[in-house]
Each structure stands twice: as C-alpha cells, then as structure tokens.
Amino acid sequence: MVSIGAETVKKLREKTGAGIMDCKEALSVCEGDMEKAVDHLRKKGLATAAKRAGRVMTEGTIQPYIHMGGKLGVLVEINCETDFVAKNDDFKEFSKNIAMHIAATNPVGIRREDVTQELVQREMEIYRAQAREMGKPEKMIEKIAEGKLEKFFKDSCLMNQAYVRDPSITISDLLNNLIAKIGENITIKRFVRFQIGET
C-alpha cells in the first residue's frame, strides 16, 4: 500500500477539481501515479476541470478594479470558451472577485512557474542567511530555506493564495468550483496591478 501525502492529494485536486476523498481514492487505486489518477477520475466523470483542459478559450473578459480613490488599480484577463459564459453572472462575479483579490494581495505571478529564477534564488539566499543568523546547523539550512520558499509560493502566487473573502479555500479551489458549476474551461490568463508611487 502506497502512502499518499496531503500535498499529492492537493495537486490532484487542483488538476481535476474532484473532491478530496475522490482524489485520495484515485491515488490509492493508482498507487500514487498522478497521470493514472487523473485518468481514473476522468473515467468516473469526476475530473471536471481536466476534462475541459484541452478546449480552446477565445472568449472572456478584461476585468478592471480601482481602489483607494484611484490610487490602486488592477486589470485581469480571464478566459472562457463561449460568449454565453462570458456574460454569465457567476463568471462576472468571479472576475470581479479575482481583480479585487489581486488588488489586496499583490501576487508576483499566477502560478509558481511564473516566478523568475532570479527571484527564487534571491529568496533562497535570504532564507539561508536568516537560518544562519538564527544559529541553525549547516546541514539543516537548505531544508529550512526550502520550507520558507514553499511558504513564499503559497503567499505570493495567485493560484496558491488563500482567497481573501474565504481564507479556507485557495484561488485554485475557487476557480475549480466555478468550472465544475459552469461546465466550461476557465483560466486566469494574466494581470497587471498599478499603485501610485510604486516603481
């Protein structure tokens, strides 16, 4: 019996939009193999997001959000497959909430892959220096720095962030819930955040 970690279950859930128990069961049946688990969920009709991942998204919206009397602004592009969904109230509300969330949290990117290697290296150097400053043994420093980097990704990448209006879920959960409800692929493509006085 393969031991399935919470992080693996979370990754499968993000990929598929399926429930936690279904993800655990799929990983258990597939002996921890992520791709086989995705297929297993798709066969059972549980992988709503994954089933739609290949579809082309040519519709959507550019959602603005202006805050603090015009001193802070966000533009976010959110794509979907059809004009019908782009006009859907749930889609519109999601878009507004994402723009507001970005204004509040100032993410460095949408996913961890969007974070530049330079920034990752800089953060790691800071975390190593902090661990040394605290007098941690040399052999533990790398592990401590990697742990802090994981927290950095969680706090700084939009999809990993806790949703400001409901911190019990991530933006990824919020998106997958919408995909499951609407039945169409949706993606947060890009955003830009402006703040007066920022360089």
The tens-digit pLDDT sequence of the chain (199 residues) is 567 888 888 888 777 777 777 888 888 889 888 888 888 887 776 655 555 555 566 799 999 999 888 899 999 999 998 889 999 999 999 999 999 999 999 999 999 888 889 999 999 999 999 988 888 888 898 899 999 999 999 999 999 999 999 999 999 999 999 998 888 889 999 999 999 987 6
Contact between 103 and 158 under an 8 Å Cβ cutoff? The reply is no
How far apart (Å, rounded) are the C-alpha atoms in residues 178 and 96? Answer: 13
Q: What is the pLDDT of residue 169?
A: 94
Strands 72-80 and 162-163: unpaired
Please report the domains of the chain, with CATH numbers, ordered by start residue. 6-52 (1.10.8.10), 59-110+157-195 (3.30.479.20), 116-151 (1.10.286)
Q: What is the pLDDT of residue 25?
A: 86
State the alpha helices, DSSP H only, in 47-198.
Answer: 48-52, 83-86, 89-105, 117-133, 138-156, 171-182
Match 């800089």 to its residue by tokens.
122
